[in-house]
Amino acid sequence: VLLSYQSLKDETPIEFEVEPYEIIHYHKSYYLIGFSLLRKDYRMYRFSNQRMFKCELSSRSFIRDNHFHLSNHIGEHSLIKLDMKQIRVRVYHKDNGLRFFHEKKWGNNLQIINKQNEFTDFEFFTDDMSGLYQFLFSMQDQMELLGPEEVRFEYVKRVEKIINTYKG
Residue ranges per domain, the chain?
A: 2-59, 85-166
Determine the average pLDDT of the residues in 135-162. 94
Q: Does the pLDDT at position 94 exceed 70? A: yes
How far is the C-alpha of 22 from the C-alpha of 39, rounded, in Å? 18
Evaluate whether 33 touches 26 at the Cβ level (below 8 Å): no
Q: What is the per-residue pLDDT for 64?
A: 93
On whether the CB atoms of residues 143 and 89 are closer than 8 A, the answer is: yes
Is there a contact between 108 and 101 (Cβ–Cβ < 8 Å)? no
Give pLDDT, residue 3.
Answer: 95
| 15, 18, 52, 63, 72 from 58: Cα distances, Å | 12, 9, 16, 14, 26
* 23 in Cβ contact with 8 (< 8 Å): no
78 falls in which pLDDT band (50, 70, 90)?
Answer: very low
pLDDT in the model for residue 81: 52
CB 7 within 8 A of CB 51: yes
Among 69-78, 86-95, 100-109, the range scoring the smallest mean pLDDT is 69-78
In the structure, what pLDDT confidence band is assigned to residue 139 with cuts at 50, 70 and 90? very high
Question: How far is the C-alpha of 43 from the C-alpha of 55, rounded, in Å?
Answer: 15
pTM for this predicted structure: 0.54
Q: What is the pLDDT of residue 77?
A: 41
Per-residue pLDDT averaged across 144-155, rounded?
A: 95
Q: Choose the CATH number for 85-166 among 3.30.230, 3.30.70, 2.40.128, 3.40.50.
A: 3.30.70
What's the rounded Cα separation, in Å, for the pair 31 and 10?
18
pLDDT score of 109 more than 90: no
The DSSP letter of residue 65 is: P
pLDDT at 57: 93
